[in-house]
Structure 1
């Protein structure tokens, strides 16, 4: 059994050798064969183990290919980039204030193309769901909380980034963070809160505690307390993070608050 598990894990790791995903034309046949043979492996424990090892490797390969291709396909379609989109969704995690800019993640479950002119009052509904990292530069409300449901007029773009060796790979970070695109909120009368956060929303309670710490403690101390208490490190100064790194104590922020965050 251990060899079968190791073979499956080897199949999942083999995908790292690919320079690009092969596409559904290859993934689907490989997945069907891999899952079929994995099922036979479970139903026929009397088979010679070495015969089953390549099939378990194929099953592991299939699992990762299907998952990875699904994540790539969930990104914002390229034909929607730079267009006005009317979306509805729930605020995820904790909104961050960066100067005059409000940043947040919106889990979209409804998307519309707004009317092109005043005579057409019915927006066109489009079936798409995903997470977008949005910025709101002007006119954002002071009371903006995680867990709330909002309708927003936005412009969004697919995840892109520089490919410089040794540099920060923003596109990779977006993929690992489950972000399907980024964009900004347009100034519009269509922007409005549709529903408050649920009474038992964990994200809403985290934000309330974070805001309370920010009001009661000095700025520098508040940022550390927020990081340690509710796993929100957005307000910590880069100089403080460097001190933590040099003193070998940065792991305190990494592990503290994870029971909440």
Structure 2
């Protein structure tokens, strides 16, 4: 059975290659110069430069970056692809997932602007999951070899890279907690509170937002059947915790939703 990962087109990455004055143009790639450096990006407090000193941000600006627009439904990288880049989401939303033996999709993460993808490839040199755009999006591609070289002589950069990898571990641990110890209402409440916090961190409303993922994708991520996801949304509406209009969600009672998920959401 072919899956969406196989059917969707791969989005090629174009890397900026700096040329010395007088060099002949390379025929390897054609790239559009970046309009915004990392140090000047509006997402720098959420992304890779977060916590870097100004001089370290300048070093990061000196790396070869690529930028790529990815259309809704397009695959950025597939499970098993050779690991080359860490991808910073500049705009839009992505899902990560794996293909199970029976051909079903298991969603493992959702990624918003300012978040990184692709770190699953560090361990074995191949991506352990696929990344697909849920809407028209744009990413910055950071060559991992260049980033590692920069970090090798910079303790602060080593700390930042280590923190990013730790963030991935924490995210996976949170998913295991959702799947292993919570009922349906707790899982959905935790998911919605997490989205709320992430939207707030980006300067958007914490109580009203549009979910870019489908109910089936939410169910795959939370380990719930589609019918259970829909029924739990309806239950939250009946309790006046939410108003839902298709993918548009308005949280009416944040405290009540938090009570449905008694643990603290990180």
The TM-score with structure 2 as length reference comes to: 0.28
The structure with more helix, counted as a fraction of residues: 1
User: Greater Rg, structure 1 or structure 2?
Assistant: 1
**TM (normalized to structure 1)?**
0.28
Bigger relative contact order, structure 1 or 2 (CA pairs below 8 A, ≥6 apart): 2
